[in-house]
Structure 1
């Protein structure tokens, strides 16, 4: 579990100042390095993040932050030599080993190892977001160790590295090193080294080539590797040879030029500009960089809570993927968002089997999913060193509606209505059937759902959790929209949806988080601790459950996901009530709360919480970044920028824009994908400039929609 109460580690988060690569050689070969030498990277502080120093407590965090991923493969940013406490790791999306709750991502052959004698005592490591490369340079040496590596965006599975050091200090060693688990085989193929890790029928294989050279007193090394993976059979190394040969023939310098061009195209389509807040701008770009990095190579995409950046949560797929990451990817990489829904669709049979085993109809999706779509949530864990039963796999049922919501959101944002009416239709209908069988109707005709856990998770086995009930209601109505108007089952779904209680009190404008919540001890975070903090560690599980302190904004999530289902005008009252009671003990919490505060016209408060989300991994606020990046936080950050501060939402095939900028931001620029168009919004307090690459219907605030072709300036009337 995330633990925000851990000591916050002091660090400087800043940009790097390497020598600028001012020009390019013909055919895109970077200038500034002789053939075989490590080229320089850009020094633009708006695009580069650096880490300097030898603090061992920071080492594994840095490895996580500097993960490079593309095409469904990712490599942690470990140093090249063997280092104490280092966790080098190569992972592939959807490649699991183990059974039941023990399922986890299978480590693959490692490709970045070098022999450096002596290793650098101190170095500067730089992640260049604009080019998608990681550079390392030794500090305080006349002939320093320097390395550059990247994962090819345009060549899925291909990675490359160049290294240099003084003669006698650098030795290549094996191009591939075996992982610590799985069945490992290796050999030679067509003059290349290959290695394969398998478990059951799944596996990952790599084929590598390397060459060494010398430039005066400097020894150089160049390594290119191609990976292949298969979730259903043992991969054949020969399947990667063609990709390796094509990359080798192109050569390292042109591979690098190709990489820079591919990333330039990405940033041209999707980006953020906050001229008055360069630190926030850089941190949002860091989030976008890693969101792009989880995009897979096939028709389906399983995004674990930590992506492919570490072993945290064993690579299991939670609601993080459906509700936090997918909505961000829908505007960044729509094909990846669609593939995430396909992952759920292809595991619908397992969800049906789960519902049937419970004596219920339809499909119930697992709280934690892996290869097969079966429930893989562990039964027990620890909290503060004490054993604890984990009930989320049994009770956190809102995931079933979340999955259906993700399918509908992708279809709405992308304009791909045929997907919802076609491949995704059984998913929405089967999840509605589950809720129809799960609800209990009392003698007064009201429908209830009991024994659940909401997103809050500090309160268990509750009845009529507002978020769960409202999401179930939305699910029933969405399914009814997908069947014929005269369908009897659809009419029953609508009637049941109308009967579901939601805990709304029209007098106060508040939703009761669950039945009996308002009778709990009215404790707030004031005087306990400054959020974000793990309140369960501070107060203990039983004590906390008797209070109104919550882990994350449970009721507020329904306003975020399905505002059309919430009572009009109720957001403000619920922000005021639940905000002071929220510990933000989940990494999912700050960004979405910031999004809602911005929507409610409170951008200054929103900015304060957004800043927490922006540095949650960069500053390791939870003390858990060493085990992997918090992908949901990145997804939440982009949602906060796009749907919160920029106020962009899609309704009925129309892009609705209602911006809310904090006073310190004189302007906000966002580029994104929406309804099949590339869109750019340049927002100031006076107007919104809209640019698109085709016709797009746009509504500003409460005004009438208008068609924008090319560009338009929409004055803000408030």
Structure 2
């Protein structure tokens, strides 16, 4: 009997030991950790709220960069408008017993991003004296405001001097620094404020921050303001801590430009005061609630924790880079820095928009609103090039005028962007079935872009309404004729315009159908779709012909889709990540879920860079965060393994098959009805 009890206890011990070990090794689906920080091999991760982007740094109490959506000016890079870095208004310094904390005198630095709450946290030890933990977030409920929370744990009796530092990047000029104390019976607020002009003086940028102390009014630490130089000033306080004592405080800050507000200086200070008087707890609770609402639209993968974490990271970044109620879209690098000058490309309309539309139509509406507000600029662009209707620019910024650097041929020739915008507008209507919106905004986009294509084709006889001299979706193919994707996208644009006209009660131009029916899609003698007229099998930068099967749904025959896949997949070079996501989706829809799963991994894993596995544009690249790749990867999950399909009547589900590694796929909060779709083995 004693042996039996002993055996039972051993089994119980082994059972719980095993499950404890599994719990210790399981990947948390919401937290990305970096326990080893190497500044020489570090690519920051971004917290953002659709307006402010804050990029992490390996240096203690520091952020790498702050980007403000909509703040463009002409400077240095390609002689076109560029998005700008703005004030580093969240940086801090910390002195402990008279010694400045630096990367050289700290240890055990750890960083993490909680994607569920959109909070970045870093911690480190300062010698044997203190452990410091700080976290920051771009508050989701307040578009121009961020919050930093700091906790200092004293291991010995110490004196600390924390300081909030306001610093202007070199590109800003005419910096003015201000310090203001607002003393009221219920609160004392010290404002550290700066303004500066953009490089040409076009914009005024203003930032302001203040401390939020835990002490009662009248018992707060005394704050000292210090001027360092023209582009930097700070405010600091002293605190004596006993061994074992914790002390926490916060910094709330706001930043705006005159592109966002006619009076950025006063607005930045007012918003900072507003945040301070709400207090840390209320700010955090509202921020968490806003993100909880976003995450009601989620993708849950059972059986593959690594894929789950990667999918959540892609969703987190797209959610972070866009905001409902604005007219801003997403650049290829989102709000993670100055990549691609912050311009808007087809990446937004074809690669990011569909996933956002299916999960959060209200977020997607901001992206299509961006295009609608710049429709007149597209009409001017068409007129300048001798065409009718609206010709959207390949690169767009604040005004909607062409912003492609002159040396890049994509500016005057990558015309498929016009159809990409129109298709996004039609898809927005399909998902929302918002007929008043279609009549007011969607149909004008579709009509004017259809008129563009009717004037753009060369009418060389039946079946030969050619579209010559374009840059293909495969951008290694410049100044080619009858590119497959361009032609099929134009046909789709024209046919969508006809359908939209019928819904809003307008009379479609009969020529739209004539043109659509006569634009050619070329083929090789063996039936493979030909990328362009003079194409003979050369390597390609990225998927082009394969896009006719998805997202255009122009080619629907399974045998044709497979034939094109087999031909073009081995010809794709080291181009951007999204090619493999669309190949994954097409193999899934063709019934080969394991091949699809392999390509799904290839769409992101080779592009991950340390320490947070943020996505670079290409395998081995060093330019994260590539939001376009995230959009493509999510379409592979939603529209491939999840089987979702945007149809003229809304979102429907095909009959997908899961890869062996996945036990179940659940997609929640889909479309305007916020439906749940489940795929089981």
TM bin (shorter chain): 0.7 to 0.9
Aligned residue for 2:140?
153
Q: Note the alpha carbon deviations across 1:660-708, whole angstroms, 9 max, x for none.
A: 211221211111321x2112122212xxxxxxxxxxxxxxxxxxxxxxx
Q: Does 1:294 align with 2:321?
A: yes
Q: Does 1:500 align with 2:519?
A: yes
Q: Does 1:104 align with 2:90?
A: no
Aligned residue for 1:89?
65
Per the alignment, in what secondary structure is the counterpart of residue 674 of structure 2?
A: strand
**Which of structures 1 and 2 has the bigger CA Rg?**
2
Q: Which moved more, 1:552-561 or 1:440-449?
A: 440-449
Q: 1:185 aligns with which of 176, 193, 200?
A: 176
Structure 1 residue 180 displacement after superposition: 2.1
Q: Is the 8 A contact 1:590 1:612 kept in 2?
A: yes
Structure 1 residue 654 displacement after superposition: 4.5
Q: Note the alpha carbon deviations across 1:40-87, whole angstroms, 9 max, x for none.
A: xxx97221111133423322x1x2x2x11014111111256488xxx7
Q: Note the alpha carbon deviations across 1:454-490, whole angstroms, 9 max, x for none.
A: 1111221111001101111111122223346998862
Q: Which moved more, 1:651-660 or 1:466-475?
A: 651-660
Query: Residue 472 and residue 170 in structure 1: after superposition, are their counterparts in 2 closer, same or farther (change >3 A)?
Result: farther
Q: Is the 8 A contact 1:344 1:403 kept in 2?
A: yes
Q: 2:242 aligns with which of 216, 232, 238?
A: 216
Structure 1 residue 172 displacement after superposition: 2.9
Aligned residue for 1:550?
540
Per the alignment, in what secondary structure is the counterpart of residue 56 of structure 2?
A: coil
Aligned residue for 1:666?
663
Q: Is the 8 A contact 2:209 2:251 kept in 1?
A: yes
CA distance in 1, matches of 2:135, 2:495: 53
Q: Is the 8 A contact 1:208 1:225 kept in 2?
A: yes
Structure 1 residue 298 displacement after superposition: 4.3
Query: Residue 661 and residue 464 in structure 1: after superposition, are their counterparts in 2 closer, same or farther (change >3 A)?
Result: same
Q: 1:137 aligns with which of 82, 105, 123?
A: 123
Structure 1 residue 355 displacement after superposition: 1.4
Q: Is the 8 A contact 2:73 2:202 kept in 1?
A: no
CA distance in 1, matches of 2:315, 2:462: 50
Query: Residue 69 and residue 232 in structure 1: after superposition, are their counterparts in 2 closer, same or farther (change >3 A)?
Result: closer
Structure 1 residue 192 displacement after superposition: 1.3
Query: What is the RMSD computed on CA atoms of the aligned residues?
Result: 2.6
Aligned pairs, how many? 596
CA distance in 1, matches of 2:270, 2:359: 30
Aligned residue for 1:196?
195
Could you tell me which runs of 5 or more consecutive residues in structure 1 were left unpaired when the two chains were aligned. Answer: 1-42, 381-389, 523-547, 686-718
Give the alignment of 1:685-696 within 5 angstroms.
685=681
Q: Is the 8 A contact 2:203 2:259 kept in 1?
A: yes
Q: Is the 8 A contact 1:195 1:207 kept in 2?
A: yes
Give the alignment of 1:364-383 within 5 angstroms.
364-380=391-407
TM-score for both structures, normalised by structure 1: 0.78
Q: Does 1:73 align with 2:99?
A: no
Give the alignment of 1:250-649 within 5 angstroms.
250-267=278-295, 269-296=296-323, 298-380=325-407, 390-444=408-462, 446-483=464-501, 490-504=509-523, 508-517=526-535, 520=536, 522=537, 548-564=538-554, 569-615=559-605, 616-617=607-608, 618=613, 622=618, 627-649=623-645
CA distance in 2, matches of 1:445, 1:108: 53
Q: Which structure dedicates a bigger proportion of its chain to strand? A: 2
Structure 1 residue 397 displacement after superposition: 0.9
Could you tell me which runs of 5 or more consecutive residues in structure 2 were left unpaired when the two chains were aligned. Answer: 1-25, 95-99, 183-189, 214-236
Query: Residue 484 and residue 656 in structure 1: after superposition, are their counterparts in 2 closer, same or farther (change >3 A)?
Result: closer
TM-score for both structures, normalised by structure 2: 0.82
CA distance in 2, matches of 1:572, 1:282: 31
CA distance in 1, matches of 2:290, 2:324: 16
CA distance in 1, matches of 2:253, 2:354: 33
CA distance in 2, matches of 1:500, 1:567: 19
Structure 1 residue 250 displacement after superposition: 2.8
Q: Is the 8 A contact 1:368 1:393 kept in 2?
A: yes
Q: 1:118 aligns with which of 94, 98, 101?
A: 101
Query: Residue 514 and residue 168 in structure 1: after superposition, are their counterparts in 2 closer, same or farther (change >3 A)?
Result: farther
CA distance in 1, matches of 2:588, 2:409: 34
CA distance in 1, matches of 2:548, 2:453: 17
Q: Is the 8 A contact 1:134 1:150 kept in 2?
A: yes
Query: Residue 170 and residue 129 in structure 1: after superposition, are their counterparts in 2 closer, same or farther (change >3 A)?
Result: farther
Per the alignment, in what secondary structure is the counterpart of residue 91 of structure 1?
A: strand
Structure 1 residue 407 displacement after superposition: 0.7
Query: Residue 197 and residue 603 in structure 1: after superposition, are their counterparts in 2 closer, same or farther (change >3 A)?
Result: farther
Structure 1 residue 262 displacement after superposition: 2.7
Per the alignment, in what secondary structure is the counterpart of residue 453 of structure 1?
A: coil
Structure 1 residue 556 displacement after superposition: 0.9
Per the alignment, in what secondary structure is the counterpart of residue 428 of structure 1?
A: helix
Q: Is the 8 A contact 2:558 2:590 kept in 1?
A: no
Q: Which moved more, 1:441-450 or 1:665-674?
A: 441-450
Query: Residue 108 and residue 626 in structure 1: after superposition, are their counterparts in 2 closer, same or farther (change >3 A)?
Result: farther
Per the alignment, in what secondary structure is the counterpart of residue 153 of structure 1?
A: coil
Q: Is the 8 A contact 2:577 2:619 kept in 1?
A: no
Q: Is the 8 A contact 2:431 2:650 kept in 1?
A: no
